[in-house]
């Protein structure tokens, strides 16, 4: 992907930020409890933070801690024209990561109501109590694979940009009552991949697809990102 765009192309900057290690605790079953995370922010010139994220390059892992790319209320104007998938690609590379071996992309503490509903529905369909500590997983072959779930669609679009395939998506609940339930999501990529350096995959990997942002707050906003 020789012509990939950087945060600097969109007048954004990157800076280190303090993030408590417990933020990344939901990733421990996948990367181990000895994983060292580096936390950073991407912000505009007016200091508005559009992305807070963590990288653990040695463990091929990335976590979206917080994304604030669109306004919360209509008309949902964007704070930057850079897509979140582009930010993930550029910031992981800037951290020294190899996109060909990136294995996990986690989403911390999901607040989007529509996505939370889809995750709860998945727990119930698999006979799991989402108000207890538990996890479920889906694959592209699952009967309940839900492309209308914004975050699933976003993960699929990220995989397309990377020239990769999703192995599974894991939903994690740390328990709690209804709206207080803490929910997380982990996208795991297959370890066999088509390299971004393969010219035959460059067009597909660079395709810009509507709906590739993980940041959206309401049903009306989700409609704006529909493919």
Paired tokens of 189: 């990529």
pLDDT surpasses 60 at 182: yes
Which pLDDT score, from 0 to 100, does residue 205 have?
Answer: 35
Mode of pairing for the β-strands spanning 61-67 and 104-107: parallel
Average pLDDT, rounded, for the chain:
84
Rounded Cα distance, 226 and 168, in Å:
22
Statement: residue 110 has pLDDT above 70? yes
Domain-wise residue ranges, the chain: 7-224
Does 214 score more than 70 pLDDT? Answer: no
pLDDT at 145: 86
On the 0-12 / 13-18 / 19+ scale of CB atoms within 10 A, 108 is buried
Q: Which tokens is 143 given?
A: 């009967």
Q: What whole-number distance in Å separates Cα of residue 1 and Cα of residue 93?
A: 11
What is d(CA 224, CA 201) in angstroms, rounded to the nearest whole number?
Answer: 28
Tens digit of each residue's pLDDT (9 = 90 or more) over 49-80: 999 999 999 999 999 999 999 998 899 899 99
């Amino acid at each position: 992907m020789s012509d990939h765009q950087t945060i600097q192309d969109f007048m954004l900057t990157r800076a280190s930020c303090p993030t408590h290690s417990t933020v990344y605790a939901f990733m421990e079953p996948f990367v181990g409890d000895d994983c060292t995370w580096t936390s950073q922010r991407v912000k505009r010139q007016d200091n508005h933070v559009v992305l807070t994220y963590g990288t653990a390059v040695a463990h091929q892992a990335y976590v979206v801690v917080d994304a604030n790319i669109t306004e919360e209320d209509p008309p949902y104007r964007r704070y930057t024209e850079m897509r979140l998938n582009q930010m993930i690609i550029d910031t992981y590379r800037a951290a020294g990561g190899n996109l060909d071996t990136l294995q996990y992309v986690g989403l911390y503490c999901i607040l989007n109501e529509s996505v939370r509903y889809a995750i709860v529905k998945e727990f119930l369909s698999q006979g799991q109590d989402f108000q207890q500590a538990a996890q479920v997983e889906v694959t592209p072959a699952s009967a309940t694979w839900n492309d209308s779930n914004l975050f699933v669609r976003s993960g699929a679009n990220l995989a397309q940009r990377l020239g990769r395939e999703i192995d599974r998506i894991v939903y994690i609940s740390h328990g709690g009552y209804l709206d207080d339930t803490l929910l997380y999501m982990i996208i795991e990529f297959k370890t066999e991949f088509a390299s971004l350096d393969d010219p035959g995959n460059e067009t597909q990997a660079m395709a810009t697809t509507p709906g590739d942002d993980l940041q959206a707050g309401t049903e009306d906003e989700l409609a704006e990102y529909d493919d």
